[in-house]
């Protein structure tokens, strides 16, 4: 063995050899840790100021983490990924599945949340009993392609729904002294009423934004306007982006000093069932 001027040790051998190193007491502060799989919230740009957003999950609990207009609201844990399943009961095409991927990416970019796909769900898509089970375990959210047969609320002019429900049990936990939604989310589009891929994109952006915590606004230039316009919007407005930023992963960085994934707390007895149904202009 030889050591060079920088202290690097080189071993040379001309035959088969085994190398055993005693690492007791050895430290190396230059080792790069394995990158965290989650999205780095420092890459989420803060949007220009706008008040054109509202929150969905109003709560009387003092531990609800977000406030707006003197009211408190729940949101998803900003320090953890959100696992999701896809339920394709209505038979979405590969192109329509790709539109869902585009919508998920749009919400990730606006919030910093990391949505992690865990598998396909095939159970109920009724709002009272959304089934998030997959062959790989239970997902925290379900994104569905449905119609009025599988999701009765989609009858008539309703093209999509989004929110959170307690079909999978209590879905709110106390984490770091605050109450956060940790499962039961869903965003569902009616493939019988969504006529184009642009309409599907606008619908899924809207419904996933409901799921993570935004409510309707009266501003027609925002995705969260309560009616899908014709032609449809396919990108978040400034108000949408403000609302999503304010309940997304940047709040983990701002409130808890870093991006370290926090451990889940003990479940509380609290559950919520809140969702919105949406229509289109066509």
DSSP 3-state of 6: coil
Q: Cis omega before residue 231 (within 30°)? A: yes
Give the pLDDT of residue 102. Answer: 97
Nearest-angstrom CA–CA distance, 38 and 163: 23
Question: CA 183, 144, 178 angle in degrees (round to 5)?
Answer: 20
C-alpha 241: how far from chain center: 14
Helix (H) or strand (E) holding 246: helix 238-246
Candidates 158, 143, 154; CA nearest to 97 is: 143
pTM for this predicted structure: 0.82
Q: Which two tokens stand for residue 39?
A: 């999205």
Give me the residue spans of the domains in the chain.
Answer: 52-280
Q: Which two tokens stand for residue 142?
A: 């379900």
Q: Are 111 and 248 in contact (CB under 8 A)?
A: yes
Q: Are 222 and 237 in contact (CB under 8 A)?
A: yes
Give the pLDDT of residue 242. Answer: 97
Q: Over the stretch 149-202, which tens digit does the pLDDT of each residue have? A: 999 999 999 999 999 997 767 899 988 889 999 999 999 999 999 999 999 999
Architecture of domain 52-280: 3-Layer(aba) Sandwich (3.40)
Q: Are 174 and 181 in contact (CB under 8 A)?
A: no
pLDDT along the chain (282 residues), means of 10: 49 51 40 36 80 96 93 94 97 97 96 96 93 95 97 95 84 89 96 96 98 97 95 97 95 57 60 90 74
Task: Spell out the SS3 assignment of 55-106.
Answer: ECCEECCCCCCEEECCEEECEECCCCCEEEEEECCCCCCHHHHHHHHHHHHH
């Amino acid at each position: 063995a030889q050591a060079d001027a920088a202290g690097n040790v080189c071993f040379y051998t001309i035959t088969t050899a085994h190398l055993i190193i005693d690492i007791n007491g050895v430290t190396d502060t230059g080792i790069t840790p394995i990158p965290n799989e989650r999205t780095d919230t420092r890459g989420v740009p803060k949007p220009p100021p706008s008040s054109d957003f509202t929150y969905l999950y109003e709560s009387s609990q003092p531990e609800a983490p977000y406030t707006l207009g003197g009211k408190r609201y729940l949101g998803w844990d900003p320090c953890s990924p959100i696992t999701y399943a896809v339920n394709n009961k209505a038979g979405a095409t590969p192109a329509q599945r790709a539109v869902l991927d585009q919508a998920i990416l749009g919400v990730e970019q606006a919030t910093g949340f990391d949505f992690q796909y865990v598998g396909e769900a095939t159970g109920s898509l009724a709002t009272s009993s959304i089934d998030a089970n997959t062959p790989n375990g239970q997902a925290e959210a379900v994104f569905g392609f449905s119609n009025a047969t599988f999701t009765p609320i989609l009858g008539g002019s309703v093209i999509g729904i989004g929110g959170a429900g307690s079909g999978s049990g209590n879905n709110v936990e106390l984490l770091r002294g605050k109450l956060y939604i940790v499962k039961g989310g869903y965003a569902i589009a009616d493939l019988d009423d969504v006529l184009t891929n642009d309409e599907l994109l606008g619908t899924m952006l809207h419904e996933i934004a409901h799921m993570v915590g935004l409510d309707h606004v009266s501003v027609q230039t925002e995705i969260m306007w309560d009616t899908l316009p014709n032609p449809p919007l396919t990108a978040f407005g400034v108000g949408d982006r403000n609302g999503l930023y304010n309940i997304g992963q940047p709040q983990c960085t701002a409130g808890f000093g870093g991006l370290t994934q926090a451990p889940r707390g003990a479940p509380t007895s609290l559950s919520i069932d809140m969702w919105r149904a949406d229509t289109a202009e066509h």
